[in-house]
Amino acid sequence: MAPNPAIPTDPDALLTDLSDDSKRAELLKDPEAFGAFIKNYASAVAKRDTTIAEQTRDQVNAVLAEWLKDNEAELLGNSVKAALPGNTNQQGALYNHRAPGAKADGIFDDAADFFQAAWHRAERFRNYSTERAPKLAKLAEIQNSYGSVVPADGGFLIPETMRSQLLQVALEQAVVRPRATVIPMDSLRVPIPMVDASSNVSSVYGGVVAYWTEESAALTESQGSFGRVVLDAKKLTALAIAPNELIQDASAFGGFIGSAFPAALAWFEDVAFMKGTGVGEPLGFIGAGNTSTVTVTAETGQGANTLVLENILKMYSRMLPSSLARGVWIADIQTFPQLATMALSVGTGGSAVWLTNAENSPPMTILGRPVIFTEKANTLGTAGDITFCDLSYYLIGDRMSMTAMSSEHVRFTQDQTAYRVIERVDGRPWIQSAITPQNGGSTLSPFVNLSSTRT
């Protein structure tokens, strides 16, 4: 073969070379040289025509994306799921690769496997020494590497995939967390910047003023005032009792764990996020310590334990205008009869304004904004029985770690096991006070309640 055969630069030239008997025979004499000839031809064509590489890359990416969508649960874990095309799973938003439990992903098959391994009687399982004990040892090694970051009194660190799965189920039952601004916390205390403003009459953002200025005139200086909201991770403990026979049944126990703990976490988080005092627990947006809440005065002569249309209209008018599109009504279920019979008085008559007949289900919106009925709100007749709020102004600090431990002592005589799950979380309103609008009218806020004085 010639030392340096000419490399064709297009398919027609290659066909000409291979059709020539003498050239073909010379090329095929040395298989290695022929392979190099073909590689050089491919490289020359790729440089000359970039569309081939682009088409190849597009096809490879399409096949890879489809393959990942089919296999990410087994190969990459749930953290990848949200990034794949067409996937709307909320768990991706809850999963945090920086969380302490992320390094523990993949050790356990599922939640049932984890809680069975953490069971104080786990050595009774036939595969304990060969399967579960090595898993716990690996988990303990990961947990110990974090030192004080993972609380020492919390038991076994729950892997991040399972933590995000628990929170995903909790989101479907929670009122506040799905609508709030959730801040991942890398430490036990995280300060969040906020605009320190209570009035827009003469300035905005706590001191910024804009001036109309003549050409070449000196500029007038102004600056905003900023504060901070501090999130301190509080300890929320969930306790569940399970019969020991149930724990040994993997499928049944998995169903119990998958429903009991998320429901409990969502329930008690909601109660604190709504009504918490801020002492040892989150500060609720309808709690007495929330200084940013606007309280609308009841109507003169309005009866106790009642709601009237004027209450609703005035509450709507006290919402920050920028928050109207995000506002939701959160109401005690006992308010339903009052809402259903609200009427607009016209002279000596009037008509119902929310529920006009009992044939169909209620519209579940008031003035175009969703209504969420819950027993977690305050009872009818007290402030917080109905609240109009923009929960994006509520901050939730998520410590990104959960731990679990079991005990036989709580229900020893009943042959039951108590499981304890601990998470650390905080919550509080993002603004510190209601805002006086530019025109000097009534104060506005993303949190609006109705006064409890109704006589």
Q: How far is CA 149 from the centre of its chain?
A: 22
Residue-level pLDDT at 122? 67
Q: Return the beta strands (E) in 226-339 as ranges.
A: 226-232, 234-243, 294-296, 328-331
Which of 241, 298, 269 is closest to 179 using CA atoms?
269
Indicate whether 164 pLDDT > 60.
yes
pTM of the model: 0.67
Phi first, then psi: give them for residue 140, nearest 5 degrees.
-65, -35
Report the mean per-residue pLDDT for the chain: 76
d(CA 352, CA 226): 46
Strand partners, 351: 344
Please state, as a whole number, how many other Cβ atoms lie within 10 Å of the Cβ of residue 208. 13
More confident: 85 or 25:
25
Please give the biggest Cα pair distance in the chain: 111
Strand partners, 238: 421
The set of residues, in sequence order, having a beta carbon less than 8 Å from that of 138 and lying 6+ positions away, is 104, 107
Task: Name the helix (H) or strand (E) containing 156.
Answer: strand 156-157
Residue-level pLDDT at 82? 38
Domain definitions of the chain by residue range:
169-210+221-246+257-455
pLDDT category at 56 given cuts 50, 70, 90 is low
pLDDT category at 199 given cuts 50, 70, 90 is confident
Residue-level pLDDT at 48? 62
